[in-house]
Amino acid sequence: MRSALPEGRAARRALSGLSGALVGGLVFAALTAGGVMPVGAAVAADATSATVTAKAYDADWENAPFPDLSVTVSQTKGLVSQGVEISWTGGKESTPPTQQSGGQNFLQIAQCWGDDPQNPGRPDRTTCQYGAFGTPGATRDGNRVEGSVADADRSLTVPAAGVLDPAYTSIPFRSATGETVASVVDGTRVPGVDVNTNPFFTQYTSNEVPWAGTGADGTGSTKFEVQTVTQSRGLGCGARTSDDAAATSGQPCWLVIIPRGTTDTGEASVVSSGLFWDNWKHHVAIKLDFRPVGLRCAIGAAERQLSGSEVVARAVSSWQPSLCSGAEGSVFTLLTGTESDAVATANTAADTAPLALTSLPYRGEEEDRLVYAPIALSSVTVGFAIDRFPRQDGTVPADALARARLPLTDMKLTPRLLAKLLTSSYLDSLPYQADRSHLGSNPRNLLFDPDFLEINDPEWSQQAIASVAVADMLVPQGRTDVATALWSYVMADPDARDFLAGNPDDWGMVINPYASTDAAKNPTGTAFALPRDSFPRPDPVEVPAVEDGPAAINSVTWRPYTNDLDNAAYYTLRGDGLALSAWDPLGNPPRYTRSPRNLPGTQAVISLTDGAAADKYQLVTASLRNPAGTFVSPTNEALVAAAVAMTPIGSQAQVRGFDPASAEAARAVDAYPLALPVYAAASPYVKDASVRRVYADFIRYAAEPGQAPGVQTGQLPSGYAPLPDSWRVQARAAATALENGVTPATPAPPQAAPSRPSGAVGGSVTGGGSSSGASAGAAAAPAAAASAGDANPTASGAVAGALAGAKTAADPDSGALPAALPISLLAGLIAALVVLLIPRLPRRT
């Protein structure tokens, strides 16, 4: 048992328990009432209006490669640096590119910034980011066959000077900065100028898609990275066009789709640039509207800090312009990092402590004196970009061979498969040159694992994909609640636990012994402790350095971490598995280089990310097996189903989570098992009333107007499910309690006491009701009573009624729950009073 506390600290704890127990019991009662808000299509009007379908504006449409081509873009308004999905109909079945040809019957996609002065309302091809990969049919320049140069290209062409010196056409790049890169000026070729790799884009930065394939039915789809001025100054998209902080749009741009057939003019195949006029004239163009990049709050607005969960970052970014508007608006700066550290700092009750954003309650030595307000419901997801690469051994059916290079869009994963991906247990997750004998005869990667193939579509077994980026997952560095949630999900599954302990699966695959949770089977003699809040790489494997040559390669060099979850999703969209490339002895300093990203058609990457980032970058996400045995995707409906099954975490009834080992989870057939709530946590003991008020305002906005789904600023981005009604009640109650605050008073003499009752919220302070009308008044009463060291049962009853609310038409059927509501409220009150009236023992360490 811990030694006795100094008198002052003991007094503060006693008061914290007094004020927190009553209202904490009420919050517990409100949560058990459990109404939820369904996710309806009617609320997605903005998202729907941002989807655009277009056809080519082409005077020569009858001679276009695909006269009936119709292209749909998933989002065209309110864009940031993100991904969009591009789908189409009316195409023709594609053939893949080769080293000599760009392929047949495919599309090319590029982003452009300027309007064509000769064709108003259409994009200017000289402003397109295109040509960086140098593949056939996808450069800005090239030699021309005699007689194949269109009139519109003549000013950009150097005429032929003989059989050995054919005509050369080059489309310059005009940057949004006002600079131009041109290799043909006034009919003369400029030596030393490469229009394809220039100061504005290279193969490492360009977002163009040189080949996007179409299936046999004439349809196809691909993901496209939309870049802002931050990623591409040459495009300048989203740059602010005025000094008005309230502006909702930045510099617009164009999305251009160029259809490519079977041959180019004067050629036997597709080899010339899509920007050459004979190809360009058939393009489809769609205008893109961007949110303005940069500060969107008035200069001089008060700044407040948020700290913790990255999972809520995209929502905070959307809410910020609305939060800082008005005379008393504040600029909220979110510093993402370890949630447990943020919560510990918030619990100090210092006026300068940031508002903590967390999915788990405080777990330190001190008393938990925080108010927890739910502000977001999202998920931990596994995203992937894997394109078909069928075996060429004669065993694959013709129809499957015809789908080569098209994306795979369905994946199922179990906790055991996730355990394999997280522990470097597949051969290719360790360096090729290293001693990998301790992995035995394990498969090369996930896609060769019979454990994976048994539960997934048979088409997966027809593939021959050998990328190292599917032998593990891109995971973020550092400590996070996401890691805790994922490991807890894995460890709740008997098969996964058995595998992690060192027992082979049904096909003989074994855990990397350095990640074994059985100390006797771990070469270090120490068990790999799980669950944990990070993703370590415990295998000490290393390829030794070579004197005056390549540096050593260890497991992290081989498979590096990403900076964060958003970063992982971004790399997945781009098909960049962060694969190690060749040693560059001439680098400064000498170093290993990174492989360029894989283009659509050749991608193979798996990553760990969150629901908002996966949606932002339009990733395909895996379905996970939940405790009820169902494979479920992270849809809004599945997140709401998980929210219904969430239970209090430990003794902190204000914070709920999806416990995969609980009876509730076992019954939740439709629940996504890695649904993750995010709470705003702050101490009502903060002395500065203005700080408490600003944080309360943030919570109220997040829980009410900030829950309206949409793509415009101030709305809830996709990837988050709107909060259940009972969670909104808790958020309003927490905001009121935080704003009212708690003033320490002279405590009663210390007394010995039994342990805290299960389900009570010792040392937590919440408030009741909304911030206006009768509910606000009712909320103030218990806070005032608590600050005076007195319980007010009458006021508490009013708060309980406000917290409970009434069942609305939007709430899902909860069976006998409405009849049990008064009992749950009474239970909360009793739990609060028990804690108030029975002295408590100090917490054990």
The structural domains of the chain, with segments of one domain joined by +, span 1-37+725-845, 47-288, 295-723
Cα gap 358→375, rounded to integer Å:
10
CB 497 within 8 A of CB 531: no
Instruction: Give the contacts of 530 (CB within 8 A, at least 6 positions apart).
Output: 487, 490, 491, 500, 517
Task: Tell me the CA distances in angstroms from 748 to 415, 751, 833, one per residue in order.
Answer: 50, 9, 16
pLDDT of 59 reads 76
Q: Which helix (H) or strand (E) holds 588?
A: none
pLDDT of 472 reads 98
pLDDT of 751 reads 38
Is residue 88 left, alpha or beta, with left meaning phi > 0 and alpha meaning psi from -120 to 50? beta
Cα gap 515→490, rounded to integer Å:
14
pTM: 0.81
Supply the DSSP symbol for 291. Answer: P
pLDDT of 157 reads 96
Instruction: Give the contacts of 575 (CB within 8 A, at least 6 positions apart).
Output: 385, 597, 598, 599, 600, 602, 603, 604, 605
Rounded average pLDDT per 10-residue block, the chain, 845 residues: 37 37 33 30 36 78 89 93 95 94 97 93 96 96 93 94 89 97 95 94 95 94 96 96 77 97 95 96 94 75 89 94 76 93 95 95 94 98 97 93 93 98 98 96 98 98 96 97 98 98 98 98 97 97 94 95 97 96 91 89 97 97 98 98 97 95 97 98 95 95 96 91 97 96 58 34 32 32 32 30 34 32 33 32 30
pLDDT of 567 reads 96
Tell me the three state secondary structure of residue 371: strand
Query: To which residue do tokens 């309302």 refer?
Result: 121
For residue 210, which phi and psi values (nearest 5 degrees)? -70, -25
CATH number assigned to the domain covering 295-723: 3.40.190.10
